[in-house]
């Protein structure tokens, strides 16, 4: 029996089933050989979506890297500020300690404020203002007491 006789012997529904089976075999064979049929262009849409995700991920990675860089830079600047503040505090404490020792050991420590003592205090005040010009009483401070001079007036010398 030949294939043509078998095909003629089939009913129209059988012919349709045989045709669909042959078509399915052809599609499977061509698919195995690497041929792709994409009438809705789904492959390109998936590719475009994947590329968009990659672009977004690279943008987010760059933003995170920039944030880490700025954070490290900010930490370094903050460390410099803390170091500067500590150095300034240490210098102010040293200057104050020296002035306190000098004032307590002076021969006029128990006498009313005389011009020499006022000069020493004014010198110490000047040292503090050089270390931290933004302190109240310094010339650079707003609302200061006239550069600190008006706050100290020599008293009557004890005689």
Q: Quick one: pLDDT at residue 157?
A: 47
Residue 13 is predicted with a pLDDT of: 84
Model confidence, pTM: 0.42
What is the tens place of the pLDDT at every residue in 103-135?
A: 888 887 777 777 887 888 889 888 888 887 877
Q: How many CB atoms lie within 10 A of CB 103?
A: 14
- Say if residue 134 is exposed, middle or buried (CB neighbours under 10 Å; 0-12, 13-18, 19+): exposed
Q: What residue has token string 């043509």?
A: 4
Q: How confident is the model at residue 140 (pLDDT cuts 50, 70, 90)?
A: low
User: For 15-54, how does the pLDDT look when each residue is reduced to its tens digit (9 = 90+)?
Assistant: 888 889 999 998 888 877 877 777 788 888 999 999 999 9
Instruction: Report the share of the chain in percent with pLDDT over 90.
Output: 31
């Amino acid at each position: 029996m030949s294939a043509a006789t078998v095909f003629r012997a089939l009913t129209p529904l059988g012919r349709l089933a045989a045709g669909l089976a042959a078509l399915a075999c052809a599609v499977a064979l061509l698919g195995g050989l690497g041929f792709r049929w994409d009438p809705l262009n789904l492959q390109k849409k998936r590719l475009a979506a994947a590329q968009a995700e990659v672009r977004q991920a690279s943008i987010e990675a760059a933003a995170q890297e920039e944030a880490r860089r700025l954070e490290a830079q900010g930490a370094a600047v903050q460390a410099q500020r803390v170091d500067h503040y500590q150095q300034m505090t240490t210098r102010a404490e040293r200057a104050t300690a020296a002035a306190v020792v000098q004032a307590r050991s002076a021969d006029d420590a128990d006498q009313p404020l005389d011009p020499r003592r006022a000069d020493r205090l004014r010198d110490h005040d000047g040292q503090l203002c050089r270390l931290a010009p933004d302190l109240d009483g310094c010339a650079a401070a707003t609302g200061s007491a006239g550069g600190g001079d008006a706050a100290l007036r020599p008293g009557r010398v004890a005689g």
